[in-house]
Amino acid sequence: MREHDLLDNHRFVRFVDQQLLISTQNTHQFAPIATAAMGLAYPSETYYPVGGMIAPAELLAKAITRYGGVVRLKHRVLSNARYENGYSIDIEIGGARPQRITMKARCVISNATVWNMRSMTEKSDPAMSTYFSQQSRAIDFAWGAFMLYGAVQTDVALPTAYYQIHTDQPLPYCESNSFFISFSHADDRTKAPIGWRTFTISTHTPTSAWLGCSEEEYHRRKQIVQNCIMQALHHALPALRSAPCEYLLSATPKSFAFFTRREQGFVGGVPHSIQRSLLRMTPNVTPFQHFYMVGDTVFPGQGTPSVALGALNVAERVTRFL
C-alpha cells in the first residue's frame, strides 16, 4: 500500500485491515503477504453447507463411526499423563450426575489448544506441562469473539448469504470496525421455516473485556454491543429494518470458555504475523512419543484449510505407526 500511496487513504486501509482481521487475525502492518493475499480474497468461493456449520461436523462424526470409531460427547478431558506403554487420560462425563473415568491409549491426537494442554498436564505430567507452558508463552496474543444469533422474517432476496459490514467507529468493547454475518439459505428448511432466515454475526473482541467484570457489568456490555451491531446491520441492509427479528442471543469469550472449555474463550487460533513465522508454531509432532497435536493453535495455523492440512499430516504419521 505504501508503494501505491494508499496509506493515507484511511477508508481503504480500514477496509483492508478488516478483511485481513477476519481471515488472518491481524492487520496490514503484521499480516504475512502469503496469508494476507489469500485473506483479501475472502469470502469468494465460500460455500454454503445445508444445515449450517454443524452439518460438516456431523458428517465427520458419521465417518468416524462408519469406520469403527466411537464419538463421545460431553466428555471433558481433565488430565493427561504418560505411563509405561502409552497415556492415561482422566475424563469427566457430563450429565445430571457427572462421572469420572480413566482411559488408556498407546497413541493420542489432541485437538485441545496449547493453553489447555498446559493446564491438563500441570499436575499429572511435569515434563509435558513444561513443554506446553513454553509453547503457550510464545503466543503473546489471541482474539476472542462476540457473537450474535437470531432469526429474521423476510422475503427480501439477499444476493449472498455472507456479508462483512463495516462501521465508522470501532464497536464498543470489541476493537473492531466490522462484523461478519452469515444468513441461512432461503431454501434451507433445516435452519428456518418458510419466510424466515437465521443469522450468525461475529466480530473480534479482546477476552479481557469480558472476563473478570461483575455479572451486572457483563450483561450491560453485552446489551450495548448487541444494540450497536443491530443498528449497524439495519443501516447497511435497510430492507431488514422493519422485518420482525426473534430469538436474539449473544455470546462472548466467557460463553466460549464455558461451553467449549477453551482457555479464556480464545477462538480463531493464533494470529498470522511477520513477527512469528509459521515454522515457529507449535509442531504437530511433540517431543513425547505417539502424542500429536492438531487444531488452530498448532502448525500450520488457523482456518479450515490449515487445520485440515495439519490433521492430514498427523493421520499419515499415525497410520505408519499403527
Domain identity same for 217 and 233: yes
Q: Is the pTM of this model over 0.85?
A: yes
**Given a cut of 80, is residue 22 above it in pLDDT?**
yes
In a domain, 67, yes or no: no
Last residue of a domain, one of 265, 285, 313: 265
Domain identity same for 227 and 314: no
Domain identity same for 248 and 277: no
In this predicted structure, what is the pLDDT of residue 40?
86
In a domain, 52, yes or no: no
Over residues 1-13, the mean pLDDT reads: 90
In a domain, 82, yes or no: yes
b or e along 119-131 (b: 16 or more beta carbons within 10 Å of the residue's beta carbon)?
Answer: bbbeebbeebbeb
- Confidence label for 225 from pLDDT (cuts 50, 70 and 90): very high
209-222 pLDDT, tens per residue?
A: 999 999 999 999 99
In a domain, 56, yes or no: no
Amino acid occupying residue 77: V
In a domain, 244, yes or no: yes
Residue 303: which CATH number? 3.50.50.60
Residue length, the chain?
A: 322
Q: How many angstroms separate the CA atoms of 57 and 75, rounded?
A: 17
Residues of the chain above pLDDT 90, percent: 83
In this predicted structure, what is the pLDDT of residue 42?
72
Least confident range from 31-45, 173-187, 303-317: namely 31-45
Domain identity same for 200 and 180: yes
Domain identity same for 207 and 157: yes
102-139 pLDDT, tens per residue?
A: 999 999 999 999 999 999 999 999 999 999 999 999 99
In a domain, 66, yes or no: no
Least confident range from 21-25, 42-46, 69-73, 195-199: namely 42-46
Instruction: Tell how far CA 48 is from the center of its chain.
Output: 18
Domain identity same for 163 and 202: yes
Domain identity same for 292 and 253: no
178-207 pLDDT, tens per residue?
A: 999 999 999 999 999 999 999 999 999 999
If you ran DSSP here, which 8-state letter would residue 169 be given?
S
247-259 pLDDT, tens per residue?
A: 999 999 999 999 9
- Beta-bridged to residue 165, according to DSSP, are 179
**Domain total in the chain:** 3
- Confidence label for 47 from pLDDT (cuts 50, 70 and 90): confident
Domain identity same for 193 and 285: no
Domain identity same for 172 and 274: no
Domain identity same for 236 and 198: yes
- Confidence label for 1 from pLDDT (cuts 50, 70 and 90): confident
In this predicted structure, what is the pLDDT of residue 43?
64
Q: Which residues contact 113 (CB under 8 A, 6 or more apart)?
A: 262, 263, 266, 295, 296, 297
Over residues 93-104, the mean pLDDT reads: 90
Last residue of a domain, one of 30, 47, 64: 47
Domain identity same for 18 and 132: no
Structural domain boundaries enclosing 101: 75-140+268-321
Domain identity same for 126 and 158: no
The number of beta carbons lying within 10 Å of the beta carbon of residue 290 is 18
In this predicted structure, what is the pLDDT of residue 20?
93
In a domain, 289, yes or no: yes
- Confidence label for 23 from pLDDT (cuts 50, 70 and 90): confident
In a domain, 131, yes or no: yes
Peptide bond into 43 cis (omega under 30): yes
**Given a cut of 70, is residue 66 above it in pLDDT?**
yes
